[in-house]
Each structure stands twice: as structure tokens, then as C-alpha cells.
Amino acid sequence: MARTFTVGAGLTVLFAFTQSNHTWETYRIKLPYKKAGLTERQAAAHLLSRFSFGAKPGEVDEVMQIGLENWLENQLKANLPDSEVDRRLQGMNALQLSNETIANTYLTPAQVVRIAIKNKLIQKDSVFSADKKEYRDQLKMLMEKQGLKPFIELQTQLINQKIIRGAYSNNQLQEVMTDFWFNHFNVSLTKPQCQQFILTYERDAIRPNVFGDFKTILVATAKHPAMLEYLDNSSSVSMNNELAKRPARIQAQKRLEQTINATMADTNNAAAKGFVQQALNAKKVQGLNENYAREVMELHTLGVDGGYTQKDVTEVARVLTGWSVTPLYQDGAAKKIMDKIGAERMAKNGFITEGDFFYRADKHDDSSKTILGKYFAPKGGYDEGMRVFDMLSSLPNTAKFVCKKIAVRFVSDQPSEELLKKMSDTYLKHHGNIKEVLLTMVSSVEFWKEDALREKIKSPFELAISSIRATNADVKMPMQIFNWCSRMGQRFYFYQAPTGFPDRGGYWINTGSLLNRMNFGLAFATGKIPGVSLDLLALNQHHEPESVEAALKIYSQILLPERNQEANIKRLTALINDNKVGDKIVAAANKTQPALQETETDMMGQRAEAKQEKAMLSKKNRPINTPTLAGNNTTVANVTGVIIGSPEFQRK
């Protein structure tokens, strides 16, 4: 059956936009797909598979009409109108808030408990009673009265916006690169100290910098509260400086210690003792902390074999002592002290406040350092940290490490040394400019070679978003998509290790994950995911295929454009005609439950979330409708689900 696509109004808008914004860049982008033996249509499909979260119906034709080079230029500019995203994000009021507003509005579980203790709803020694219904109800009323909200609401908006942007944004490459760089500079919702800052971390440190110079995004992430708290640099301090050794400072410290001792000895002031004890506990963990210094060299810049030593790690940690977070909590003692001292007086003493970044001159190690053979003189202050980032971002080993990660994401799990050298040379020539590196990569024949086509395996997030895009699905409950991504093994924003998710096919594909992917495909296509709707017949101009075989061919062409369908259709035909396949998949799925990563959630939201997940995974809501998988009961929805769950759709 012949297939034709109607190019929608979106093409007209995008084409007009392209024509009115030509620059010299268009003419220097040369895509050598013909040298690799690809047709223009095949090249457009490949470009969409790597530089977007998947092609929408008719989008291959749109890219061809606009021109592949023009499409890529528009994606690199990342300024296409996004009215659909804006519409779907309406009502998500937290997305534009500052860190200070978030920190004083969306409370973590620990902050909720402190409010309960302060308002005498629970005793300090009985914090677990906060999980009882009567206390939860009182806490809820108290928080509403004070204009406070549970952290789970902020977390939900963070997750929802990622799914919406990935599925519906016209600036697809920006979203793909945001996903890439967030994973490279990973922070995690599993760490309470940085939970509240992750939304602004992605919004302010990652997304605006995905195509710029590497140093810019490196510094932006290093100075953001989310990273400072996640890898503990905010508590990395030294007293080896003149400010800390001043007689007035020493006397003030003695007076503070006397006040602390008196407070701890006061048996009638339990609340004050509690706060003082927290301060003492926090002070115990202060000192030189090498966590961020190690990861910035091993994971962010040079790589594990990047030529540095443990001594270099220690020296970088010393350089970054005093790099901390501006006090954000309105009722916090630190903020009150800062307000009392005043910005002018602090600046005179070498303190630097830049947004939410706070350089504490009184906590910086002012002695000399030597890093990778480079000498840093004493009293380098804040500037020596910036010089270290400048050095790290400009080294050849950083170029190799960063370029390899980009090539692994966009070309293959094992890119050639020749391609990596081209990309690394471009990185060094253009001072780490990521846009130039991407252009070098896509201008290489290796990007277009047959052995690179469909070589990469989609992550669960990529699978879910590409399914939404391929079917023009309408997602009104993005958290349901998140639940399925978690079930398939990717609980994004919750990956605990600073490495981020591994970017290799072997990590994502195993027996259990394949079963869950097939279950997702069937649940998605047959309308069993709440808040997700799709009109599959509209994809075929509202024509009902005459048979299962016809449906398989038609919808394979729609969902898998410009691919050799013969082998995949043969496999899927056998699967659909197996009368017992549904029983087999359900039985296997029952034996292979997903191992979800642990998470920190708000007390009042934790049970609801667990209940939701339990219901989603229950037999009643099992995303397999066995009778419709076999024989004459097979429908377009079942066929579409099987295609989405097939190995071929897992590839990009």
C-alpha cells in the first residue's frame, strides 16, 4: 500500500523562518552523506534519529524540503518558536522561580520535620510520628497557611517539563544536548542537600550553554548550588588565610564557642539545643573535601586516564576551598549574619557573591599550589579557581575525553580514532566550542556510514519520547511516562553516581529490559497508559488496513522511516501470529520485575507515589491484553505496540 504524507502548517512556518534567517553558517555546513552511499531521504532520517528524540510523521519530508543543512543550522541556533511547549507548561509555576524562592517554598522532608518540631506538632525524639495521618494533616494545614509546598510538587514539575520538552519542542537538538550534558555533569535527586536546586541547575547552568564553549558550561555547573552541594564542595574549607587568623576573628570564635557551650548546658531550651547540635554536626564534616575536585578531573574534564595524580586532586580541592552557596534560607542564621554585615563590607574583605554562588575568602586556602606541573602563587583567591578551570578545559586530554563522549552519544559506542582526532583538533582550535565540534562530527563521513546507521540503542527515556513523537501522541500526564521509564530502568534525575547513566547499548538491553520495553509498547499503543492518547488511524489518513499483514507494513513504514523493513516484518509477523505470545510475555514479565533506584521524596508524597507505582505494576494494570494479541483480534493498536517494542524500534 502506497504511503503519502501531508506536510502540515509547521513546515510552512519553519521554512519561512529558515529563509528569513540565512547566515554564512548555512553555506559552510556540508553533510557528506552521499559519499557514504545514502540518499537524501535516508540522510534526513538518520539526522533526525541522532539529533532529535525521533522523527514525527512526515518530518523526513519536512527536513528534505527545508534542506538538511538548513534544518541543522536552525537546530544549532535553538531559537525556533515553541508555542506547543509553552502551552503545555502553563500552570507549572515553579519553572521560573529563583533558588531562593524555591528553597523557602518547596520544603524537603528534613525541613518539614523541622517545621513540625518548631511548631510543637511533634517532639524532636519522635520524628517518625510525622508519618502518622493526624500529624500529616496538621503539617499540611500549617504549610498551606504559611504558603509552603511539599518538595514532591517541585520534583513533579521538573520531571514533567523534561518529558514535555523532549516530546514537543521544535528545538530538538537543544533538548538532546541538554540531556547529554546533564548526564555528563550529573547531580541527583537522591541527595537531599541538592534536591531543591536541580530544576534551576538544568535551566540555568545546562540548557543555555549546550552549544557554547566547554569552559562556560564547566564553570556554570561548578558554581551552581546543585553541584556544590551534590559533591560537597560547599563544605570544603580551610583556615589557612589571613582573615581566619585575625585576632578579632579568633575572639569571635571563642565567644561563639562559649555561647554554644552555654546553650548545650541549658536543660530548659531543647529547641535551641537542637539547632546548635545541627550546627555542630555540620561543622564536624567541614574541612578539605576532595569529592568535586576528583570528579571534575575524572568525569568532567581529563578522564580517568587523563594524566593527573592524587596530589593533583588534593591541590585542586585546595584551590576550590571557600567555593560555596549563598545562604538562601530566610530564617537561617547564616543569611541573617550576611545581611547584618552587608555586601560592601564583605566585598572589601574578598568575599564574592555571584547569584547563588558565594566565595568565602575566610575559608580559602591561601598557600601556594602546584597542579599538573603548573605553579599557583600564594593568595590566589577566587581567581586561581577560574584559572584552574581555564587550564583544565583547554588541555588535549580534556578535548579527547569530551569529544569521545560526544561521539559515543551521536555516532557509535566505539567511534574511530580518526574521527576523535578530527573532533579533538577542532575542540582545541576553537577553544572548546561545542557547536564547532558537532559540525566537525556531522561533516565526517563516519557519521553517515552504514555501520553507524541504527547502531545506537535508545535509552528508556529516548524510547518513550520517540514513541510519543512517532505517533503524535497527546500526553496529559507526563508522570505516567516517567513511571514507565523507571520501570524500563531509567529513573532520570535519580541516578545516584556522579558518572551519570552509562551510554552504551549493553547497559540498557537485557532479557528483563526487553520484556519491559515490549510491555511499554503494547501499553502505550493500546491506550493503557493513563493520560496518554493517540489516534493511530490518523497516521494512515484514517484508512483501516485490510489485514494484519497490511497494518504491519504500513505502520512499520510510518514508525521506522527509511529502513529495510523486510527482516523486521518477518519477525514481527511470527510474533503476532503466535497465539500464546501474550501468555509468554506476561509470564516472563511476572518473573522479571524492575529494580527501581531508591529515591528521597517528601513524606507526604512518598506513600502516594509508592501506591501509584504499585498500582501501575499490578496484575490488574498489566499492560498486556492477551486476547487482542492473537489471530483475528489483532488490531492496529496491537501491531503498533509490537513495532514499538521490537528490537528495530529500539535502535536509533
Cα–Cα distance between 90 and 3 in angstroms, integer? 36
Over the range 447-459, which residues count as b (16 or more CB within 10 Å of their CB) and which as e?
Answer: bbbeebbbebbbb
Distance of alpha carbon 609 from alpha carbon 75, whole angstroms: 36
pLDDT (tens digit per residue) in 546-584? 988 999 999 999 999 998 888 888 888 877 776 655 555
Q: CA 540 to CA 553: how far, in whole Å?
A: 12
In tens, the pLDDT along 368-405 reads 999 999 999 999 999 999 999 999 999 999 999 999 99
Higher-confidence residue of 518 and 253: namely 518
**pLDDT band at residue 228, thresholds of 50, 70 and 90?**
very high
187-210: burial string, b at 16+ Cβ within 10 Å, e else: bbbbbebbbbbbbbbbbbbbbebb
pLDDT attached to residue 247 = 65
Question: What does the block give as the cell for 226?
Answer: 546543585
* pLDDT higher than threshold 60 for residue 639: yes
The tens digit of pLDDT for each residue in 239-251 reads 998 887 766 655 6
d(CA 97, CA 84): 21
Nearest one of 587, 598, 482, 467 to 536, comparing CA atoms = 467
Residue 20, pLDDT score: 42
3-state SS, residue 10 = helix
| Phi and psi angles of residue 651, each rounded to the nearest 5 degrees, phi first | -95, 150
Whole-number pLDDT of residue 526: 92
Q: In which element (H, E) is residue 370 found?
A: strand 369-371
The Cα 515–Cα 592 span in angstroms is 8
Supply the DSSP string of 449-491, one letter for each residue. Answer: SGGGTT-SBPPHHHHHHHHHHHHT-EES-HHHHHHHHHHTT--
Please give the C-alpha separations between residue 10 and each of 17, 525, 557, in angstroms, as whole numbers. 11, 25, 21
Distances (CA, A) of 86 to 54, 81, 89, 156, 464: 20, 9, 5, 17, 21
The burial of 144, by beta-carbon neighbours within 10 Å (0-12 exposed, 13-18 middle, 19 or more buried), is given as exposed
Name the E strands within 246-366.
Answer: 323-325, 352-354, 357-359
Question: What is the rounded average pLDDT for all residues in the chain?
Answer: 84
* Cβ proximity of 626 and 588 under 8 Å: no
pLDDT of residue 459: 97
Residue 589 pLDDT > 80, yes or no?
A: no
pLDDT at 251: 60
Q: What CA–CA distance (Å, rounded) separates 627 from 71? A: 44
Can you give the pLDDT at residue 339?
A: 81
Phi and psi at 515, nearest 5°, equal -65, -45
Under the banding of pLDDT at 50, 70 and 90, the label for residue 2 is very low
Q: Between vectors from CA 54 to CA 49 and to CA 59, what angle results, nearest 5°? A: 95
pLDDT digits (tens, 9 = 90+) for 21-77: 444 454 578 999 999 999 999 999 999 999 999 999 999 999 999 999 999 999 999
| Higher local confidence (pLDDT), 602 or 391 | 391
pLDDT category, 262, cuts 50, 70, 90?
low
Other CB atoms within 10 Å distance of the CB of residue 318: 23
Q: What is the pLDDT of residues 73-117, one digit of tens each?
A: 999 999 999 999 999 999 999 999 999 999 999 988 778 777 777
pLDDT of 362 > 60? The answer is: yes
Closest CA to 462 of 188, 180, 154: 180
As a dihedral over the C-alpha atoms of residue 423, residue 213, residue 404, residue 317, rounded to 10 degrees, the angle is 140
Taking the C-alpha atoms of residue 539 and residue 520, their distance in angstroms, rounded to an integer, is: 20
Q: How far apart are the first and last CA of the chain?
A: 25
* CB neighbourhood size of 377 (10 A): 9
Mean pLDDT of 485-491: 95
Q: Which residues contact 194 (CB under 8 A, 6 or more apart)?
A: 187, 188, 201, 225, 226, 227, 229, 230
How many Å apart are CA 557 and CA 649, to the nearest integer?
A: 11
Give the H/E segment covering residue 615. Answer: helix 603-617
Closest CA to 405 of 306, 504, 508: 504
User: How far is Cα 437 from Cα 211, in angstroms, rounded to an integer?
Assistant: 9
pLDDT above 60: residue 543? yes
Element (H, E) at 227: helix 225-230
Q: How far apart are CA 380 and CA 365, in angstroms?
A: 9
Helices (H) and strands (E) in the chain, counts: 36, 9
Count of other CB atoms within 10 angstroms of residue 236: 27
Average pLDDT over residues 191-202: 97
In 3D space, the residue among 317, 408, 404 whose CA is nearest the CA of residue 364 turns out to be 317
CB 34 within 8 A of CB 94: no
β-partners of residue 150 are 107
Read off the pLDDT band of 518 (50, 70, 90).
very high
Read off the pTM. Answer: 0.85
List, in sequence order, every beta strand (DSSP E) within 24-108. Answer: 106-107
Q: Which three cell numbers stand for residue 391?
A: 587550564
Range list of β-strands (E), 88-242: 106-107, 149-150
CA distance 602 to 610: 12
Give the model confidence (pLDDT) of 443-481 as tens digits.
999 999 988 999 899 999 999 999 999 999 999 999 999
Give the model's pLDDT for residue 108: 83
Which phi and psi (to 5°) does residue 603 adopt?
A: -55, -40
Which distant-in-sequence residues (6+ apart) come within 8 Å of 253 by Cβ?
Answer: none
As beta bridge partners, residue 236 has 287
Q: With 90 as the cut, is the pLDDT of residue 187 above it?
A: yes
Q: What is the pLDDT of residue 329?
A: 82
Q: Where does the pLDDT of residue 424 fall: very low under 50, low under 70, confident under 90, or very high at 90 and above?
A: very high
Residue with cell 580559602: 364
Looking at per-residue confidence, does 305 or 587 come out higher?
A: 305
In terms of pLDDT, which residue wins out, 268 or 331?
A: 331
What is the model's pLDDT at position 513? 83
Q: What is the pLDDT of residue 423?
A: 98
Q: What CA–CA distances, in Å, run from 42 to 32, 38, 72, 385, 468?
A: 12, 6, 15, 47, 22
Task: Give me the residue label for grid cell 489518513.
Answer: 541
Inter-residue contact 423 to 407 (CB < 8 Å) = yes
What confidence score (pLDDT) does residue 93 get?
94
Question: Quick one: DSSP state of residue 208?
Answer: G
